Structure 1
Amino acid sequence: MSTTTTTPPAGDNPPSTNAIREADYIRFKKYAAWTFVVAAPILTALPPRKLDHYTVLLTSAWLVSANHLSREYTGQSIMERLEGRLSKPSSIMQDLPTERAHQIQAKLRAARDAQIRDGSAVGEELERLKRQQQQERSLAEKIWMGSETEGWKERRLREEQKALEEGKSYGDLILEHIWDVWNWGKTGEKKEEGGSKDEK
């Protein structure tokens, strides 16, 4: 009597222990992420509301969980999405159809800057060219530089040197800058107040 051993079909193989553990771990991460996404804002909003290390930990857990769920459901994490959006050119640049348009804009910009430098444009024409120059600055540059124009470093150094020669200290210069920011550039009020105190 002979016995034959038959191997079960490939689909009937029970999953290995490692595969079960891996599936459990993935399921655990998913449930933990959902728990933190829901619970972290609630725990942060409960009294006493204060900014301490617990709030920072809960916020970090919420961010990591949201990032994990985003990657789980969309295939891209939040950071990958942000990097993708930041690396794309702005919509203004997308409106320009060709490289030729970039070249023409660069030539026009160079010609306008040359007119401003040479002084060939005067009066209203000069003001118009300067306004165009200011409008072309990017939003980030406008925020960072404010209303400063080219050569601001040299002007600032000359003003600083003049103030130091008059006997002012760096502390006085810092206070003047703070005062200008506080009063939106209106320096006359401080001088009037100082003058009225001296008269008393």
Structure 2
Amino acid sequence: MATPNPQQPPNPEVSREADYERFKNYAAITFLVASPVLIALPPRKFDHLTVLLASAFAVSANHITRERTGRSIVERIEARISRPPSIMRELPSERAEEIQARLRAARDAQIREAEAESKAKASSVSDELERLKARQMQEKGVAQRVWMGGEEEGWMEKRLRKEKEALEEGKGYGDLIYEHVWEVWNWGKKVEEDEDE
């Protein structure tokens, strides 16, 4: 008669770990549903209990996301922050950047030639020069246009010169701020233009 293999008792450590993981999942699902409900119940006020429930919701959502997808919400945010946003990168490849650099160099050369010719021919070339400069401004990156706000090179020197002239005329910084706010509020009209009308 063959003796049957005695069944080995299950390892209590493995069953405890499985029970603990199952408990964490059920607790996360419970807090994910119950936290917003408890926050919405009266009395609705922002106190330490609301912060505790919101934290429980965030931790639960993070845990469930990590269990389902393998990456937590925090890891996803860190990955997004670590790579540069697509708006900061103007072109997708190095080859495209090289071509764009050549085009920019050719356009800059045209602008320099047009500026040299504009000294000789004032009106006809200046229109072409303006069109070239507008095209150059249009092709600048979105991030650079937003950052500079449509200002041209040398804007700081122009502003300092205007400030110095205004101070020499006897105006104060309050007057300068008032004029600047007035221009912004009235879409570019100067204070003197509005008083004349």
Structures share a fold, TM > 0.5? yes
Alignment of 1:6-25 (within 5 A): 12-17=8-13, 19-25=14-20
Residues 1:38 and 2:33 aligned together = yes
Give a deviation string over 1:117-162, Cα, whole Å, max 9, x none: 5614732321222222222233333333221122222222222222
Instruction: Report what 2:122 is aligned to.
Output: none
CA contact (8 A) 2:65 2:71 kept: yes
Instruction: Report what 2:128 is aligned to.
Output: 125
The one of 136, 158, 176 aligned to 2:179: 176
Equivalent position SS for 2:140: coil
Instruction: Report what 2:149 is aligned to.
Output: 146
CA contact (8 A) 2:31 2:57 kept: yes
Q: 1:7 to 1:135 in 2, by over 3 A?
A: farther
Higher relative contact order (CA 8 A, sep 6+): 2
Alignment of 1:76-115 (within 5 A): 76-82=71-77, 84=79, 87=83, 90=86, 93-94=91-92, 99-115=94-110
Q: TM-score, normalised by structure 1?
A: 0.63
Question: Residue 75 of structure 1: CA displacement?
Answer: 1.7
Q: After superposing the two structures, state which structure 1 stretch, 166-175 or 44-53, moved more.
A: 44-53
- Structure 2 distance, partners of 1:77, 1:55, is 23
Residues 1:155 and 2:158 aligned together = yes
CA contact (8 A) 2:91 2:97 kept: no
Code of the residue aligned with 1:156 in structure 2: it is R
- Structure 1 distance, partners of 2:45, 2:185, is 29
- The alignment-based identity, stated in percent, is 61
Equivalent position SS for 2:91: helix
Alignment of 1:66-77 (within 5 A): 66-77=61-72
Q: 1:127 to 1:39 in 2, by over 3 A?
A: farther
- Structure 2 distance, partners of 1:142, 1:49, is 44
Q: TM-score, normalised by structure 2?
A: 0.64
Alignment of 1:27-66 (within 5 A): 27-43=22-38, 59=54, 61-66=56-61
* RMSD, aligned α-carbons: 4.0
Corresponding residue pairs, total:
183
Unaligned 5+ residue runs, structure 1? Answer: 1-5
Question: Residue 82 of structure 1: CA displacement?
Answer: 4.7
- Structure 2 distance, partners of 1:64, 1:84, is 19
